[in-house]
Amino acid sequence: MQACKFRGVFPPVPTVVDAAGRLDKKGMAALIDKLIADGVNGMLFLGSGGEFCHMPKEMRFEVAAFAVRHTDGRVPVLLGISSPSTAETIEFGIHADTLGVDGVLVVNPYYALLGQDSLYHHFRSVAEAVRTPVILYNFPALTKQNLEVDLVARLADDVSNIIGIKDTVDNASHVREIINIVRPRHPDFVIFTGFDEYMMDALVLGANGGIPATANFAPAVTCGLYKAFIEKDFEGMFARQRQLARLSRIYELDRPFFGAIKQAIRLCGLDISTEVLAPVQKLSAAKTKLLVDILDKAGVLPQPAPKRTATA
């Protein structure tokens, strides 16, 4: 069953780029390999943290092809195909079909606010034009438009290729209502939370998992939380949730948070480029100092090896 692929922790993988804004294939490969070795359940490429919104079309094709090829089926892959244009979203979706990804993620068109019928038409048109299963992406803080639960239910009812949602909403009630209203009609409807700090709440309510950016540098926390939930190790789950609450301060350091996540990955032990795509700028030295403090207090910074003592 398709929905069984979409459980656990799927980090939104940053796109590693060099100072000229080109894909850094060596760094990207190293990040993918490390995430798989760290036990993530899947990966999302070209989500918000993957900087898709600042890439030309050709680069999006290049990043998608490289990431999927390098992952090579080791874990399930979600691929972001979002665009303000329905036609361009379909174009990215058809490319995703050729790559054989497990699912595509589609945010509502941004900039022009749309009526409910226009939103419905966009998602339905995309889902019916591509073979790959579609997961809706709700991020009203950025798109300025919430996907109402009734719209989600209508799309799930009418379009069999729409199989789930990533809900990045700053409360747990929206996930709760999707579970209450959509799940009785579609028991396999996939529900991921996008905000790290709501992951435990979402799992308890019945969500499939989370797509937390902190998983890119603190997988022991996020994957550990999911593992503890599955194993009913509630004390372990609570402890990791408290760590996630501390780590969530990272999102307040800079807008957008792209540079902070890349810098955190580097500070936690993987030597990748921390360059970001314009108009975003790298994390400043002052903000990097604050980042170090957050990581340290959350207990995720690598600990120095103990000094050896001389023996006689």
Secondary structure, 3-state, 166-220: EECCCCCHHHHHHHHHCCCCCCCCEEEECCHHHHHHHHHHCCCEECCHHHHCCHH
110 as an active site residue: the answer is no
Q: Which of 137, 198, 226, 227 is flagged as catalytic?
A: 137
57 as an active site residue: the answer is no
Q: Comparing C-alpha atoms, which of 80, 36, 37 is closest to residue 194?
A: 80
226 as an active site residue: the answer is no
The residues facing 191 across adjacent strands are: 165
26 as an active site residue: the answer is no
Q: Which of 34, 166, 227, 282 is flagged as catalytic?
A: 166
Q: What count of other Cβ atoms lies within 10 Å of the Cβ of residue 287?
A: 15
Q: Comparing C-alpha atoms, which of 24, 7, 8 is closest to residue 275?
A: 24
> CA 214 to CA 230: how far, in whole Å?
20
SS3 category, 6: coil
Q: Report which DSSP code applies to 108.
A: P
Q: Which of 48, 82, 83, 248 is flagged as catalytic?
A: 48
**Which residues are the active-site residues?**
48, 111, 137, 166
